[in-house]
């Protein structure tokens, strides 16, 4: 039976990379697979990166991440949506998987290399991140994982861990496959420094819950094609952040107008950015209104999350029992 799993870290405000790269696929797959599409705010992961973790803000960020997903169209009554730390089987399975995973494999993960480079002291948890991620997915025997392209290596490792477990203990887990959003594989940060990422801070991100004037302030100063020095120089929209963002937010005729206008110097960067903001407003205004309604009733959100954790545990418990028995742990009577 097909089953979907994906997680999102409460390491900061959800941004348009998360939204177009992952969350929109959650909604689409949620409509198809109902309760067998399982989504999780992965707070156990969030504590592994000291650059983005603040204990005083974790609970609030976790709540906000749930609000963002519900506002984006996920209905917790129709899918399974919960907070990772409320289902303790995640770390239980993770520990079993650490025993199957070579340290060398973990050390060559590019996300680990990127994130640990920024740190003076690297927590072991950051190295173990992909093992916990494998446990998140396989705990539900999920075979379909909607993610951005930056997770490809982690999904490949998950497949390897599944293979190793199956080889050692008999057929247990599927080998899951990633599902990507084809126009949003890896959305660049608005500061022009690589992938947009929550943990890189607000200069990198355009938040989906961010006030539109704050989004405009960042778009206004965002770098464009560096070859286009003067207004009269032709530009290359394929080498421009704003060109990338138009593909996410704008309709066909607008995209054609700004792409052609950029190439012929018929349109200036400021006007191109203003046209982008029309699409941003169209997409985000209704989402932000729904988020405001959800925030006004926090108990409703909390209840939905707790119900989601119950539903998740109902699947996770028997899988963990199967694992305990296969691994050879003495069963408590």
Shortest CB 151 distance to ligand ATP, Å? 4
Mark whether 113 is an active-site residue: no
23 appears as a binding residue in the annotation: no
Determine how β-strand 37-41 pairs with β-strand 177-179.
unpaired
> In degrees to the nearest 10, what's the CA dihedral of 109, 54, 206, 244?
0
Shortest CB 307 distance to ligand ATP, Å? 23
- Supply 41's token pair: 């705010």
54 appears as a binding residue in the annotation: no
250 appears as a binding residue in the annotation: no
Q: What Å distances lie between residue 259 and 153, 184, 196, 252, CA to CA?
A: 33, 18, 22, 11
**CA-wise closest residue to 158 among 189, 181, 179, 135:** 135
Residues 201, 190: Cα–Cα separation, whole Å: 11
- Supply 135's token pair: 């446990």
Residue number, 195 or 313, with CB nearest to ligand ATP: 195
Burial class (CB in 10 A: 0-12, 13-18, 19+), 40: buried
242 appears as a binding residue in the annotation: no
- Supply 69's token pair: 């997903």
Query: 123-162 mask for ligand ATP (x: CB under 6 A)?
Result: ------------------------xx-xx-----------
Residue number, 16 or 323, with CB nearest to ligand ATP: 16
Residues 179-208 that bind ligand ATP (CB under 6 A): 184, 186-187, 195-200
Among 11, 37, 62, 85, binds ligand ATP (CB under 6 A): 11
| Position 69 contacts ligand ATP (CB under 6 A) | no
284, 219 in Cβ contact below 8 A?
no
30 appears as a binding residue in the annotation: no
Spatial neighbors of 13 by CB under 8 A, at least 6 apart, are: 64, 198, 202, 205, 207, 208, 209, 210
Shortest CB 215 distance to ligand ATP, Å? 16
Mark whether 115 is an active-site residue: yes
Q: What Å distances lie between residue 150 and 100, 124, 254, 295, CA to CA?
A: 23, 21, 29, 31
- Supply 191's token pair: 């500061």
| Position 57 contacts ligand ATP (CB under 6 A) | no
Residue number, 198 or 273, with CB nearest to ligand ATP: 198
Shortest CB 196 distance to ligand ATP, Å? 4
Residues 139, 90: Cα–Cα separation, whole Å: 7
Mark whether 195 is an active-site residue: yes
196 appears as a binding residue in the annotation: yes
Element (H, E) at 96: helix 89-98
Pick the catalytic residue from 141, 198, 218, 273.
198
Q: What Å distances lie between residue 175 and 92, 134, 160, 196, 263, CA to CA?
A: 20, 10, 8, 28, 45
Residues 78-117 that bind ligand ATP (CB under 6 A): none
Among 3, 9, 140, 158, binds ligand ATP (CB under 6 A): 9
266 appears as a binding residue in the annotation: no
Residue number, 145 or 294, with CB nearest to ligand ATP: 145
Shortest CB 172 distance to ligand ATP, Å? 25
Pick the catalytic residue from 24, 195, 239, 326.
195
Question: Residue numbers of the site for ligand ATP (CB under 6 A)?
Answer: 8-9, 11, 17-18, 21-22, 52, 147-148, 150-151, 184, 186-187, 195-200
- Known catalytic residues are 115, 195, 198
User: Which residues does the annotation place in the binding site?
Assistant: 9-11, 17-18, 136, 148-150, 187, 195-199
């Amino acid at each position: 039976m097909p089953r979907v799993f994906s997680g999102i870290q409460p390491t900061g405000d959800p941004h348009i990379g998360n939204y177009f790269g992952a969350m929109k696929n959650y909604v689409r797959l949620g409509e198809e697979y109902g309760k067998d599409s399982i989504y999780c705010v992965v707070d156990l992961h969030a504590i592994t990166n000291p650059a983005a973790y603040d204990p005083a803000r974790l609970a609030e960020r976790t709540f906000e991440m749930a609000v963002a997903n519900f506002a984006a169209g996920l209905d917790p009554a129709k899918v399974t949506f919960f907070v990772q730390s409320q289902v303790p089987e995640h770390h239980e399975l993770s520990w079993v998987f650490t025993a199957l995973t070579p340290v060398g494999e973990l050390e060559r993960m590019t996300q680990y290399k990127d994130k640990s480079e920024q740190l003076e002291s690297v927590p072991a948890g950051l190295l173990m991140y992909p093992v916990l991620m494998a446990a998140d997915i396989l705990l539900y025997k999920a075979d379909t994982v909607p993610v951005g392209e930056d997770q490809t290596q982690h999904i490949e490792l998950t497949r390897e861990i599944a293979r190793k477990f199956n080889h050692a203990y008999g057929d247990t887990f599927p080998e899951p496959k990633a599902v990507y959003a084809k126009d949003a594989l890896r959305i660049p940060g608005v500061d022009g420094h690589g992938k947009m990422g929550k943990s890189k801070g607000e200069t990198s991100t355009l938040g989906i819950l961010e006030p539109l004037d704050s989004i405009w302030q960042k778009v206004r100063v965002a770098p464009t094609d560096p070859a286009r020095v003067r207004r009269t120089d032709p530009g290359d929209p394929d080498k421009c952040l704003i060109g990338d963002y138009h593909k996410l937010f704008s309709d066909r005729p607008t995209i054609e107008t700004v792409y052609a206008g950029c190439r012929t110097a018929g349109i200036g960067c400021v006007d191109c950015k203003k046209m982008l903001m029309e699409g941003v407003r169209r997409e985000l205004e209704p989402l932000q209104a729904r988020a405001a309604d959800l925030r006004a009733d926090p108990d409703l959100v909390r209840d939905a999350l707790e119900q989601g954790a119950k539903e998740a545990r109902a699947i996770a418990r028997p899988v963990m029992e199967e694992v305990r028995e296969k691994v050879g742990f003495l069963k408590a009577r």
